[in-house]
Amino acid sequence: MSNQLQQLKSMTTVVADTGDFEAIAAYQPQDATTNPSLILKAIQQPKYRHLAEEALTWARSQASETDTVALAADKLAVLLGSKLMQQVPGLVSTEVDARLSFDSMGTIEKAHHLIEMYRQQAVDTSRVLIKVAATWEGIQAARVLEQQGIRCNLTLLFSFAQARACAEAGVYLVSPFVGRILDWFKKQFPEQDFSGDKDPGVQSVSQIYTYFKQHQYSTIVMGASFRNIGEIQHLAGCDRLTISPTLLEELANCHGPLPRQLTSGVEVKTRPAQLTEQQFRWMMNEDAMATEKLSEGIRQFALDQAKLEALLSELLCR
């Protein structure tokens, strides 16, 4: 019998959640996705430090001294994304600075800036997904970008309200976070059993997937942020799953049967009217978990972006 990673690939597009080229070569995913935390982790390893040096060298030739570090950080993300494209046949997601999460126009401008940098690398920009936090402002920025032909991956998604608003905006792909949802519920209710299909993160992705299929939204559902392979096994059949190298290895070492859990064969229903901003914000206000985890995620990505820029600044001064 084939291993569970091979079985999963037969029903779900597997995406590598890493900036580690060696891991991608080992597990051969279709797509790859990164974020500021993964980029920071990658360039702290000596084998990837040359990418930071290349980004700084380029930025020095392009910008004033005050702009060099910020420009180098963008260049580093693009260099990493370009190299990932050489290893995966599909798409690569590159994240907009989390500090723009409540700035629609700033997000749009940054997305165009990143796409232009990819063009300068002579890569196929149709393979780039711009990754944006699923705030109301981020979703509206993605609506515009999608209309302009720039496909988006909406991340830090914890609630049905976020997912529905993304689908209504015509977003290409959403990344609902499984493990971080579980983290919140385990902290709030430490005695409760969240194993198997009782995992609230698994339930969230299942609900979103079913709703999108019922209402015939084209938005792709890509489960993310897994804590264990059980969560992945219970979402087999989802459009896409982005998985860390550690869990990819665990799946590759499992040889039992992996049954499909999610299927697109559901009853079609009429779409409701689109959410207004007021409705969206109220639904988020009523969802303590989603509100807290979205804010926490933005803060963490912003912190790691600042750490990345500090490291680049240190290298610049050497």
- CATH number of the domain where residue 125 is located: 3.20.20.70
Q: Is 216 left (phi over 0), alpha (psi -120 to 50) or beta?
A: left
- Segments forming the whole domain that contains residue 30: 4-316
The amino acid at residue 312 is: L
Would you state the pLDDT for residue 64?
63
> What is the helix (H) or strand (E) element at residue 154, kind and residue range?
strand 152-157
Angstrom distances, CA of residue 233 to CA of 23, 265, 293 = 21, 19, 24
Q: What is the pTM of this model?
A: 0.94
Residue 228 CA to chain centroid, in angstroms?
18
Which positions are annotated as active-site residues?
Answer: 131
Closest CA to 206 of 168, 172, 173, 232: 232
- CA 51, CA 265: separation in Å to the nearest integer? 45
Tokens of 266: 């559901």
Sign of the CA dihedral 151, 13, 230, 18? negative
Please give the average pLDDT of every successive group of 10 residues along the chain, which has 318 residues. Answer: 93 90 88 86 86 91 76 94 93 96 98 97 96 98 98 98 98 98 97 96 98 97 96 98 95 96 92 97 98 97 94 86
CA atoms within 13 A on the CB side of 116: 7
Q: Give me the DSSP letters along 180-215.
A: HHHHHHHHH-TTS---GGG-HHHHHHHHHHHHHHHT
How far is Cα 251 from Cα 228, in angstroms, rounded to an integer? Answer: 10
Residue among 316, 308, 283, 306 at smallest CA distance from 134: 283
pLDDT in the model for residue 254: 95
**What's the gap between Cα 102 and its chain centre?**
18
Number of domains composing the chain: 1
